[in-house]
Each structure stands twice: as structure tokens, then as C-alpha cells.
Amino acid sequence: MCENSNRVTKLTSTHRSVDGKKLWLDIISHDSSNLCFEFTVKNVSVFFTGKKFVFSVFVIVSLLAALDIHNPNLYVVVVLIFVIGRLIAELLWSVNSESVLLVAPVGLQLTATYQFGRQTSQFIPWHFITDVIINEAITLHRVVYYLAVLLEQPYHETTRKKLIPLFQHTRPRLACLEMIYQRIQRGAAFPEVSSQ
């Protein structure tokens, strides 16, 4: 399998997310025929040495030092609860990297890796997929380019279409998306559905 390492090729390039954070894009092709790709978008900065984490720890330590246990000040306690809660939420729910594993006639697997190595994944079977597109849409205060999988559920009386956006947490910019899009379109041939 992967011991034949001259079959497995990996290309790494640096890009930026929509917010300006630095990202790595790894394109791994597990097979010399263009049937199996893995695209991984990773945050460059490690969380525990980042400015936000160090500053949060500093704030928590200084608030705890200013807190008198026997006669606590209400405002200090409330702010402390907020800062600690925000730190815990970031530790639990901030996404470190997202990857898309494409195996041509089997399907697509989307995996999100959180802090401490936890992973959640979602699988899309191949015969549901119509196409992978780059769409642009409005969110809150800006227009965002994102890769999306166009699905159509066949074998229903009324075929229902769906759009699943990829890389929603680490949002790479258009240059990175174009690279992934071209690689996918050149590699895999999607079943064309006549009515779009």
C-alpha cells in the first residue's frame, strides 16, 4: 500500500485563509492513476504558542491573583468565567485542519481535525455527487469563495438537490481553491446529470 512511497506524491503550498491566517495546502495523490486524492488545509500556527492563547492565560492568571477567595469581587468573577469559558470553547471546538479524501468511484470523505487530535468526518457516496464547484456567497459582512459539492439524490420521485460546502472552518482563499478545483476536475469524471 503506502510502503510503495514512490507512488504516493505529496505537494505542499502555502496560502492564506479569508481572515488572513496562514494555511498549508497538502495535495497527496495516493495512486499514480488520478483516482485517489487527499486535499488537506492546515493552520500554520500552533494554537498553544499563539498570541491569543498566551494572552488568555496571562489574563486568567492575573485575574486569579486579583481575586480574594474569601470576599470575591463580582465583576472579577464574571470576567473570569467568560475568559475561561472562551478558552475552553476554543480548545474544544476550534478546527486545526480540514481534509477532503476523494476516491474516484467510491466517494468523498470530509474530515475536520480539532485540537488534541479529535476528528469528525462525513462521507458522500459517489453516485450522489453531480459535481464539485466553486461558489461565491454572502456571509455577514463579506463575499466568500468556497468549494462545494453539488449533490442530487437519485431514485426519488422528486430528485432533491443539495449543496455541501467544503473547508468551512479553515476558509482558504480563491488561489488555493482554484488549485484544488483544477486537480479534482482533471482527475475525476463526475456522472453528469442531464437536468441542472
Partner 1 sequence: MPEHTPAPTPSRAVYGFVLYLCCYSALALYFVWAIIPDSFLHSLGLTYWPQKYWAIAIPIHVGLAIALFGAVIYPAINLTMTPPLGDLRTVTDPHAVSLQDKMVPEGGIPPVSDIPISQVCRHLYMDPN
Centroid of chain to Cα 180: 13
Distance in Å, CB of 150 to partner 1, minimum: 7
Exactly one of 88, 162, 189, 191 binds partner 1 (CB under 8 A); that residue is 162
Residues found in the chain: 196
Q: What is the DSSP letter of 190?
A: P
- Residue number with CB closer to partner 1 (23 or 132): 132
Name the nearest CA neighbour of 167 among 146, 193, 149, 182: 146
Considering only residues 80 through 139, tell me which ones interact with partner 1, judged by CB under 8 A. Answer: 130-131, 133-135, 137-139
Answer for which of 165, 169, 173, 187 binds partner 1 (CB under 8 A) is: 165
3-state DSSP assignment of residue 183: helix
Tell me: does residue 146 bind partner 1 (CB under 8 A): yes
Closest CB to partner 1 among 106 and 163? 163
Q: Write the secondary structure of 131-182 as one string of H (helix), E (strand) and C (coil).
A: EEEEEEEEECCEEEEEEEEEEEECCCCCCEEEEEECCCCCCECHHHHHHHHH
Q: Which is nearer to partner 1, 86 or 162 (CB)?
A: 162
- 144 counts as binding partner 1 under rule CB under 8 A: yes
The Cβ-side half-sphere exposure at 17, using a 13 Å CA radius, reads 19
- Alpha-helical (H) ranges within the chain are 51-66, 74-93, 174-187
Q: How many chain residues touch partner 1 (CB under 8 A)? A: 26
- Of the candidates 13, 127, 161, 189, which one interacts with partner 1 according to CB under 8 A? 161
Rounded to the nearest angstrom, the gap between the alpha carbon of residue 187 and the centroid of all alpha carbons in its chain is: 22
Task: Tell which one of 182, 188, 189, 191 touches partner 1 (CB under 8 A).
Answer: 182
Q: Which residues bind partner 1 (CB under 8 A)?
A: 130-131, 133-135, 137-140, 144, 146, 148, 150, 161-165, 168, 177-178, 181-182, 185, 195-196
